[in-house]
């Protein structure tokens, strides 16, 4: 029987959707082992977020209000203290989860299964499947320490639906860690977009080095993105060249996405890029070179000059 604590991820006082993907994994663990799950809302605005999270079927929602911006040193001791009452501590493998949970694990002498793609329960025994080697190998791993710490790949777990009930909300004490005095949070620039979140969109349109400039992203890629109501992504080469913001990078370095439709435009398909998108349901490549490695994963391949094909595709989509 495994009791699970889900660590919520807050952005500007609201729980990110990443939290609900971790809830789905927590439910699988709890149901598979006959245990239960609770949620922990921690950070600035934890109270309001806790009220919102109370609708997802947790046994209870713990909350710890911590003012100021997030640094893992300020949160980890409190999460670890709360985690002592649980068997599994879980969060999404977002930049937040991957930053915070290893520090929690260190305090609990727990092993970490990071970025898991599946929960397995065999006779009440837990193991986890996780992609390794940029998604080229799947490993099944057991955590042998007393406590288990797990982060989950967002694209592999659907967001939990509201359950209708209301979980009780409980305040917990904040545990101070002297190391927090060594880090001062100065500020954060949150990138805002009217478009859907890259990690959550049903359709992603990504551009690569062949776009050649940020103007071409604006003039060629963005109209298609908006015609499809899609999120915009990019290859590492396009991000490094400064054509688009780094937050749009899809790949082993960057975001892992698995939308219903992924359109790769002018992207050759380096292994690092494939690692971030090959789980997509339908993959379209538009590329001049039909031998490009993106063909290994593409369902549909249009061999064409993107500067001709993409505007034509945009017009065709608009007239559907």
Partner 1 sequence: MKILVPIKRVADPDNASKLKVSGDGTAVTSEGLEWKMNPFDDWSLEAALRLTENAAEKNARVGEVVLVSIGPNDEHTQRIIREGLAKGAERGILVEAEDGSLDSGVVAAILKALVDKESPDLVVMGKQAADGDSNVAGTVLADKLGWPVINYAMKIKTNDDGKTLEVQRELDTGVATVKVTGPAILTTSDRILQTDSVKNGVTPDDHQYAKLEVGGRYASLKGIMQAKKKPIDTTSVADLGVDAGKTLNYTKFELPPARSGETTFVEDVADLVDKLHNTAKVI
Is residue 67 within the footprint of partner 1 (CB under 8 A)? no
For partner 1, how many residues bind (rule: CB under 8 A)?
91
**Residues 6 or more apart whose Cβ sits within 8 Å of residue 180:** 71, 73, 74
Is residue 107 within the footprint of partner 1 (CB under 8 A)? yes
Selected from 199, 206, 268, 287, the binder of partner 1 by CB under 8 A is: 199
Selected from 114, 216, 268, 287, the binder of partner 1 by CB under 8 A is: 114
Task: Considering only residues 7 through 66, tell me which ones interact with partner 1, judged by CB under 8 A.
Answer: 11
How many CB atoms within 10 Å of residue 67? 10
The CA distance from 115 to 98, in Å, is 8
Minimum CB distance to partner 1, residue 244 (Å): 13
**For partner 1, the closer CB: 132 or 162:** 132
Task: Considering only residues 272 through 311, tell me which ones interact with partner 1, judged by CB under 8 A.
Answer: 272, 278, 281-282, 284, 290, 295-304, 309
Selected from 37, 56, 75, 96, the binder of partner 1 by CB under 8 A is: 96
* Spatial CA neighbour of 25 closest among 41, 5, 50, 55: 5
Selected from 69, 124, 165, 168, the binder of partner 1 by CB under 8 A is: 69
Minimum CB distance to partner 1, residue 157 (Å): 16
Task: Specify the length of the chain in residues.
Answer: 320
Task: Considering only residues 227 through 246, tell me which ones interact with partner 1, judged by CB under 8 A.
Answer: 228, 236, 240, 246
Is residue 162 within the footprint of partner 1 (CB under 8 A)? no
Task: Give the bridge partners for 14, in sequence order.
Answer: 11
**For partner 1, the closer CB: 165 or 185:** 185
Is residue 76 within the footprint of partner 1 (CB under 8 A)? yes
Burial class (CB in 10 A: 0-12, 13-18, 19+), 253: middle
Burial class (CB in 10 A: 0-12, 13-18, 19+), 263: buried
Task: Considering only residues 244 through 263, tell me which ones interact with partner 1, judged by CB under 8 A.
Answer: 246-247, 252-253, 255, 260-261
The CA distance from 308 to 180, in Å, is 54
Is residue 174 within the footprint of partner 1 (CB under 8 A)? no
Minimum CB distance to partner 1, residue 59 (Å): 26
Task: Choose the stretch contacting partner 1; rule: CB under 8 A; options: 33-41, 59-67, 99-107, 210-218.
Answer: 99-107
Burial class (CB in 10 A: 0-12, 13-18, 19+), 56: buried
**For partner 1, the closer CB: 172 or 271:** 271
Q: Are 138 and 128 in contact (CB under 8 A)?
A: no
Selected from 52, 99, 200, 226, the binder of partner 1 by CB under 8 A is: 99
Is residue 144 within the footprint of partner 1 (CB under 8 A)? yes
Task: Choose the stretch contacting partner 1; rule: CB under 8 A; options: 19-27, 34-42, 46-54, 175-183.
Answer: 175-183
The CA distance from 93 to 86, in Å, is 19
Minimum CB distance to partner 1, residue 31 (Å): 22
**For partner 1, the closer CB: 39 or 257:** 257
Minimum CB distance to partner 1, residue 124 (Å): 16
Is residue 102 within the footprint of partner 1 (CB under 8 A)? yes
Q: Are 263 and 206 in contact (CB under 8 A)?
A: yes
Task: Give the bridge partners for 43, in sequence order.
Answer: 65
Sign of CA dihedral 135, 139, 144, 148: positive
CA-to-CA separations, 23 to 5, 17, 30, 114, in angstroms, rounded: 9, 10, 10, 16
């Amino acid at each position: 029987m495994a009791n699970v604590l889900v660590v919520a991820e807050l952005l500007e006082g609201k729980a990110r959707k990443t939290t609900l993907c971790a809830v789905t994994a927590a439910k699988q663990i709890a149901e598979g082992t006959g245990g239960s799950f609770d949620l922990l809302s921690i950070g600035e605005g934890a109270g309001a977020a806790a009220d919102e999270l109370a609708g997802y079927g947790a046994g209870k929602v713990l909350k710890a209000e911590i003012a100021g911006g997030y640094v893992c040193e300020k949160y980890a001791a409190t999460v670890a203290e709360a985690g002592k009452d649980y068997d599994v501590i879980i969060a999404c493998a977002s930049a937040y989860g991957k930053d915070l949970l290893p520090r929690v694990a260190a305090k609990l002498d727990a092993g970490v299964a990071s970025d898991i793609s599946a929960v397995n329960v065999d006779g009440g025994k837990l193991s986890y499947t996780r992609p390794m080697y940029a998604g080229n190998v799947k490993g099944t791993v057991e955590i042998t320490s007393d406590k288990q710490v797990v982060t989950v790949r967002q694209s592999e777990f659907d967001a939990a639906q509201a359950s209708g009930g209301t979980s009780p909300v409980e305040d917990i004490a904040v545990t101070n860690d002297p190391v927090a005095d060594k880090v001062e949070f100065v500020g954060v620039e949150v990138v805002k977009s009217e478009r859907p979140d890259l990690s959550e969109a049903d359709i992603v349109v990504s551009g690569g080095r062949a776009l050649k400039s940020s103007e071409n992203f604006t003039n060629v890629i963005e109209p298609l993105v908006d015609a499809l109501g899609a999120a915009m992504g990019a290859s590492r080469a396009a991000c490094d060249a400064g054509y688009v913001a780094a937050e749009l990078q899809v790949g082993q370095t960057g975001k892992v996405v698995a939308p219903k439709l992924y359109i790769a435009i002018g992207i050759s398909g380096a292994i690092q890029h494939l690692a971030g998108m090959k789980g997509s349901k339908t993959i379209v490549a538009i590329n001049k070179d039909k031998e490009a490695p993106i063909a290994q994963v593409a369902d549909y391949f249009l061999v064409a000059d993107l500067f001709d094909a993409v505007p034509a595709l945009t017009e065709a989509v608009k007239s559907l």
